[in-house]
Amino acid sequence: MDAKPGPSESVSIGFPVKCVYQGGHTTLGRHGRHFRIEDGKIGHGEFSLSHSIPLDAVASVEVSEQAFGDSDAKYLVGPDAVNLRGGGLATPSAASEPKQVTLITVRTKDHQEPVWEVDHQGAEWVRERLTPALRQAGISYYDELPPSERAG
């Protein structure tokens, strides 16, 4: 007696987490919201998977974390100081914390690279959610591939 395959793993990264599709694949379009893996497909959609490609079209997935936009507090002093509204020297600008962004890059077998941007979540958090569905579909992370299999 043959065993029926179990339900496929699904993934949804969306509200309350901000996850935006940035483009990179002709079938998926130029923009969208949320990241989804459902019913053997990967793509995006506001409330359900509305733009997708088959998982078997995926060669690998890369998850990379970035932080940008931090600054130190700055004071205007010395010869470059400016008198604002006649009330004295300029006040210091507030320091900003870096914005944490994780990119999900899906490399397809036809050499396209759709990208999703996940705000305020680290790579470990994203990988934790993706790994069961990717493993079930037999898809490796890009950094796990031997160098000879990495497309350049």
Compute CA distances 115 → 16, 26, 111, whole Å. 19, 12, 13
Examine residue 123 and state whether it is found in any structural domain, yes or no.
yes
Alpha helix positions (H), the chain: 123-137
Any idea what the CATH number is for the domain that residue 17 is in? 2.30.29.30
Examine residue 119 and state whether it is found in any structural domain, yes or no.
yes
Per-residue pLDDT tens digits for 108-147: 999 999 999 999 999 999 999 999 999 999 999 999 888 8
Selected residue with higher pLDDT from 80 and 114: 114
Domain containing 17 equals: 11-68+100-143
Structural domains counted in the chain:
1
Examine residue 3 and state whether it is found in any structural domain, yes or no.
no
Examine residue 117 and state whether it is found in any structural domain, yes or no.
yes
152 has pLDDT over 70: no
pLDDT of res. 148: 79
Examine residue 148 and state whether it is found in any structural domain, yes or no.
no
High-pLDDT (> 70) share of the chain, %: 75
What mean pLDDT, rounded, does the chain reach? 82
